A and B are shown apart, each in its own frame.
Chain A
Amino acid sequence: MAEIIDMPKLSDTMSVGTLVKWNIKEGQVVAFGDILAEIETDKATMELSCTVPGTILKIYAPAGSQLPVGDPICAIGKKDEKAPDPKAKAAPAKSAPAIPESTGIPCIPEAPKSSNSPAPAQTDGSRTKISPYAKRMAEKAAINAASLSGTGPGGRIVARDVAAAGSAPVAPAAPSGPVNVAVTPPADGKGIQADADQPVSGMRATIARRLVESKNTVPHFYLEVEVDAAPLLAMRETLNKRLAEAGGESALKLSVNDFILKASAEALRKIPAVNASWAGTSIRQHSAVHLAFGVALEDGLVTPVIRDAHSKSLKEIALDAKALISKARAKKLSPAEMSGSTFTVTNLGMYGVTGFFGIINTPNAAILSVGATIKKPVVDASDRIVMGQRMIIGLSGDHRVVDGANGAQFLQALKQVLEAPTSILI
């Protein structure tokens, strides 16, 4: 009996999927686990693997087509079997749950590998563990429960997690309704762009929701430190020269950001109080440093995570960052690769921004904001005015978890590492 494979629901907010590419052809024999196709959701491009071995009888949806979740995309059955009429199945499949655990739609997306800590409450394609009350709270506040980390038994999302996400009845709700923006068109009729309402993408909606939650519920405080970047830049130049000599064209090139990431992990090792999260009734300290860093995309921003940065060398961090950046630009980051961070680094130095303060990427306790390195006169140790290369680094802290003093100690530790950067090679 032939099975019809439907467009799977690969994220909570997905309603339509784009069939980027078919990896199989009609008539081809497929086995359990074969990658059938690549499907782009509102968040990422994911691989669709097969759980029904057999022969591809028919491809209903050509590559490049956009289909609502639940629409048939192909049929698998016995060789020479007649492909079933997709309409026969399409109708009832609409109301079927997204991805049943055992029966129904036979293909499941490749589950992203789970990280050990802290566990995101949901890995894509599996059930979200959430208490009935928390679920109702999340629905009321229009929060995507799958994006929350559960602090209940077995990672269950409970009411306090939803409350912490800023949706508690007591917390001010984010304005979610349409905002009436009345702006008159330009007098001469020639504007810089058309007057238009651009629909909000899934990524943009996530950014909006998470940052409003963070700013509304986390008491931010801000610290700033100026770092002498000259030794760091000198070391980077030397190292990159050596790497280029050894590796030629394909050589790894270390970015300033790689050094900052490595130095942040080292500073967190010294001041672990910053590597923690507010958990409602407790402060959760994290044994591992999972470093998130901002990657700007054309239509938004993602924060991929370098796992176990505390135990990785500068080179490993640089390679991880490079791989994550290219995945981010190709929109191929899995949800697991974007969750479970304990600290975040953002950098606008390449745009010449001298200093800024990011919004905390919850449930992190702090975010580091790195500015450009600027040449300017400084007073040296012997009170002479000399040319200095200075970098301004800002820290936004969650005052529930971190106080001014340990935030400052963290920046002090970071400054020490960055100004004597050879230590990070050990």
Chain B
Amino acid sequence: MREELKRDENVVIMGEEVAQFNGAYKITEGLLKEFGPKRVVDTPISEAGFIGLGIGASMLGIRPVMELMFWSFSYVAFDQIVNNAGNIRYMSGGLINCPIVIRGPANGGTNVGATHSHTPEAILASHPGIKVVCPATPYDAKGLLKAAIRDNDPVYVMENTILYNDKGEVPDEDYIVPIGVADIKREGTDLTIVAHGRAVITSLKAAEILEREHGVSVEVVDLRSIRPLDEETILASVRKTHRALLVEENKPFCGVDAQVAYLIQARAFDELDAPIGRVSSIDAPQIYSKKLEDLQLPYPARVVEAALKILA
């Protein structure tokens, strides 16, 4: 974000506690000091209000990067996020762009309860006009955020607070991870796992177990973007392995993987040697008990079990 603030004076940061408090998760640490209160702006606790402010600003050429303390709070700004941001380019006949970025945590697993643990990527991605990305690694987080900031459409970045502590190689230089391009995080020949966000990390752990203990070679496809969806990378992998397991931290009903499963059966039916499998969060409001919540989310052993079922 620092690089983008330096690169383009139209880039501004807005959100609750992003300035003086240095960010609820310290993502914006030091930015107020470096860029001043005109570029890094604290907002009231009023998501519908400040997201609307950001959308209006973006229509006039500003590139706001809005932080939601939790994506769960986006629901009070739903009209702004979906209806206004998502439709303005279409409704204006292409005259008005809305280059807004909204980012923040969208994940369970941190013991913050049902109302703070939503993963709305599937809900948002079901709206034409909206782009949704879910980075799983530090490298992708930087590259996707830069791509989002430079994109002329609303791009919503779903982050995972558990992954905030993950360390990984991040080049200092300016680079972009293009939106709509999936990444093969691990190559394999026997089974394709399609995942996004933290489920990628879970799947990579499961793939290691499957290789070590069961001699199975697993390919892990990281979607990175939910919409636009990189259909060809998914299909190419399934055509190679002939078996697919879809892993996500969403609830299963109308999850992202419902769409991916449809895609695979529609365009690679003849390539399938087994039914498509899914591992999602258990279908219930996010459980407050930490121990139960850890079991509600996909974890490596559950992924391994589902993989072996498909490989039977």
A contacts, CB < 8 Å to B: 131-136, 152-153, 158-159
- We find that the number of chain B residues with CB closer than 8 angstroms to chain A is 8
CA distance A158 to B270 in the complex (A): 12
Asked if B312 is at the interface of the complex by the 8 Å CB criterion, the answer is yes
- Asked whether, in the complex, the Cβ of A132 is within 8 Å of the Cβ of B270, the reply is yes
8 tightest A-B contacts by CB?
A133-B273, A131-B273, A159-B273, A136-B270, A132-B270, A133-B242, A132-B272, A158-B273
| Least CB distance, A268 to chain B, in whole angstroms | 28
- Asked whether, in the complex, the Cβ of A132 is within 8 Å of the Cβ of B269, the reply is yes
A-B contact pairs, 7 of them (CB 8 A): A131-B273, A131-B274, A133-B270, A133-B272, A134-B273, A135-B270, A153-B312
Q: Return the chain B residue nearest A131 by Cβ.
A: B273
Which residues of chain B from 143 to 182 have a CB within 8 Å of any chain A CB?
Answer: none
CA distance A159 to B271 in the complex (A): 10
Q: Which A residues touch B312, using CB under 8 A? A: 152-153
Give the number of A-B contacts (CB < 8 Å). 26
Apart from A131-B274, A159-B273, what 5 extra A-B contacts exist at CB < 8 Å?
A: A131-B273, A133-B270, A133-B271, A135-B270, A159-B242
CA distance A134 to B270 in the complex (A): 8
- Chief secondary structure at chain A's binding surface: helix
Q: Which B residues touch A134, using CB under 8 A? A: 273
Q: Which B residues touch A136, using CB under 8 A? A: 270-271
Q: Return the chain A residue nearest B311 by Cβ.
A: A281
**Residue-wise interface mask of B (237-274) relative to A, using a CB-CB cutoff of 8 A (1 in contact, 0 not):** 00000100000000000000000000000000111111
Q: Which B residues touch A153, using CB under 8 A? A: 274, 312
CA distance A134 to B269 in the complex (A): 11
CA distance A152 to B243 in the complex (A): 13
Q: Return the chain B residue nearest A153 by Cβ.
A: B312
Q: Which B residues touch A132, using CB under 8 A? A: 269-273
Q: Which A residues touch B242, using CB under 8 A? A: 133, 159
Q: Return the chain B residue nearest A135 by Cβ.
A: B270
Q: Which B residues touch A131, using CB under 8 A? A: 272-274
Max count, chain A CB within 10 A of own CB: residue among B271, B273, B312: B273
| Least CB distance, A128 to chain B, in whole angstroms | 15
| Least CB distance, A325 to chain B, in whole angstroms | 39
CA distance A133 to B273 in the complex (A): 5
CA distance A340 to B272 in the complex (A): 27
CA distance A134 to B273 in the complex (A): 6
Q: Which A residues touch B274, using CB under 8 A? A: 131, 152-153, 158
Q: Which A residues touch B273, using CB under 8 A? A: 131-134, 152, 158-159
Q: Return the chain B residue nearest A162 by Cβ.
A: B273
CA distance A287 to B135 in the complex (A): 52
**Residue-wise interface mask of B (190-234) relative to A, using a CB-CB cutoff of 8 A (1 in contact, 0 not):** 000000000000000000000000000000000000000000000
Q: Return the chain A residue nearest B216 by Cβ.
A: A281
Q: Which A residues touch B270, using CB under 8 A? A: 132-133, 135-136
CA distance A134 to B242 in the complex (A): 10
Q: Return the chain A residue nearest B309 by Cβ.
A: A153
| Least CB distance, B311 to chain A, in whole angstroms | 9
| Least CB distance, B225 to chain A, in whole angstroms | 28
**Residue-wise interface mask of B (295-312) relative to A, using a CB-CB cutoff of 8 A (1 in contact, 0 not):** 000000000000000001
Q: Return the chain A residue nearest B242 by Cβ.
A: A133
Q: Which A residues touch B271, using CB under 8 A? A: 132-133, 136
CA distance A150 to B7 in the complex (A): 61
**Residue-wise interface mask of B (116-159) relative to A, using a CB-CB cutoff of 8 A (1 in contact, 0 not):** 00000000000000000000000000000000000000000000
| Least CB distance, B143 to chain A, in whole angstroms | 35
Q: Which B residues touch A133, using CB under 8 A? A: 242, 270-273
Q: Return the chain A residue nearest B274 by Cβ.
A: A131
Q: Which B residues touch A135, using CB under 8 A? A: 270
Max count, chain B CB within 10 A of own CB: residue among A132, A135, A152: A132
| Least CB distance, A302 to chain B, in whole angstroms | 32
CA distance A416 to B270 in the complex (A): 52
CA distance A134 to B275 in the complex (A): 12
CA distance A134 to B243 in the complex (A): 12
Q: Return the chain B residue nearest A139 by Cβ.
A: B270
CA distance A136 to B272 in the complex (A): 10
| Least CB distance, A26 to chain B, in whole angstroms | 47
| Least CB distance, B81 to chain A, in whole angstroms | 40
Q: Which B residues touch A152, using CB under 8 A? A: 273-274, 312
Q: Return the chain A residue nearest B271 by Cβ.
A: A133
Q: Return the chain B residue nearest A156 by Cβ.
A: B274
CA distance A153 to B243 in the complex (A): 14
CA distance A153 to B271 in the complex (A): 18
CA distance A132 to B273 in the complex (A): 6
CA distance A134 to B271 in the complex (A): 8
Q: Return the chain A residue nearest B238 by Cβ.
A: A133
